[in-house]
Amino acid sequence: MYGEGEKKCFINCDNCGGQNKNQTVIAYFCWRTMLGYHDEINLHFMQPYHARCQIDAMFGLGRQKLRKNDLDSVSQVADVLAKSCKYSNTVVYNADRSWVWRDWKTFLSGIFRSVPGVRQYFHFRFSSSNPGHVIVKKFATSEELNVRLLKRGKCVTPGNLPVRVEAAGLSPARQWYLYRNIREFLPLKYKDVTAPLPEISEKTQEETFPK
């Protein structure tokens, strides 16, 4: 999103509240339009019991392929998923990439208020011409309701971003678990890829990271 310089977008989602219909996502889209990254963002959710879509089907094909293949490394998982469907494309996290995670939840909760009864609405519209607000509707034919999201006395400043969150990676205890319990079952060429000898000694990790 925004990678091609688009100014108006339409996002269609299923109705899984834990994944996408939450206050942080709502506030984030409002934040984007306030800063002019988009002129308008339209967010639509499927009705309950009608949340079947092509994306779910592709995830299903991916799961089928994963069950039918022996997978001993992350690269093998990525390869199987990429070949599971002609529309599939996998992107594997690599510490050398310039990927950045930020604490958006804490950052946005201090600036924006929640949408009361957010789960009863299925259509949300954010616009740079209506900064700090969201237009919500229960159904496509329902009357629009303008909800103020920006908290009183708060403002959005260009260049002000949430604190960066570093990827923790595998804990020493998990690394030793893989080495002690999983390594022996891996083909020789994958032993040092998936379950290498941890750099921190087992005694040190037990003393530093007690159970």
Looking at the fold, whether 99 and 16 belong to one and the same domain comes out as yes
DSSP-derived secondary structure letter, 184: G
Residue pLDDT, tens place only, 5-32? 789 999 988 766 555 568 899 999 999 9
Looking at the fold, whether 91 and 13 belong to one and the same domain comes out as yes
- Block residue for tokens 């005694």: 203
Looking at the fold, whether 96 and 69 belong to one and the same domain comes out as yes
pLDDT-based confidence at 91, cuts 50/70/90? Answer: confident
Looking at the fold, whether 39 and 99 belong to one and the same domain comes out as yes
Task: Please state, in angstroms and rounded to a whole number, the distance separating the CA atoms of residues 131 and 32.
Answer: 10
Structurally, the chain folds into a number of domains equal to 2
> pTM of the full predicted structure?
0.78
CB 38 within 8 A of CB 2: yes
Looking at the fold, whether 195 and 136 belong to one and the same domain comes out as no
Max CA separation in the chain (angstroms): 65
pLDDT-based confidence at 47, cuts 50/70/90? Answer: confident
Looking at the fold, whether 134 and 174 belong to one and the same domain comes out as no
Is the pLDDT score of 151 beyond 60?
Answer: yes
Looking at the fold, whether 16 and 47 belong to one and the same domain comes out as yes
Task: Please state, in angstroms and rounded to a whole number, the distance separating the CA atoms of residues 95 and 99.
Answer: 8
Q: For the chain, what percent of residues have pLDDT higher than 90?
A: 57
Looking at the fold, whether 156 and 196 belong to one and the same domain comes out as no
Looking at the fold, whether 76 and 134 belong to one and the same domain comes out as yes
| The predicted structure's pLDDT at residue 157 | 92
| The predicted structure's pLDDT at residue 3 | 64
Is the pLDDT score of 85 beyond 60?
Answer: yes
Q: Which of 40-44, 127-131, 167-171 has the lowest mean pLDDT?
A: 167-171
Domain that includes residue 3, residue range:
1-167
Looking at the fold, whether 50 and 3 belong to one and the same domain comes out as yes
Task: Please state, in angstroms and rounded to a whole number, the distance separating the CA atoms of residues 76 and 79.
Answer: 5
Phi, psi of 6 (to 5 degrees): -65, 150
Looking at the fold, whether 23 and 114 belong to one and the same domain comes out as yes
Looking at the fold, whether 119 and 134 belong to one and the same domain comes out as yes
Sign of CA dihedral 115, 121, 125, 130: negative
Residue pLDDT, tens place only, 56-72? 778 888 889 999 999 99
| The predicted structure's pLDDT at residue 124 | 96
Q: Side chain identity at 123, as an amino acid letter?
A: H
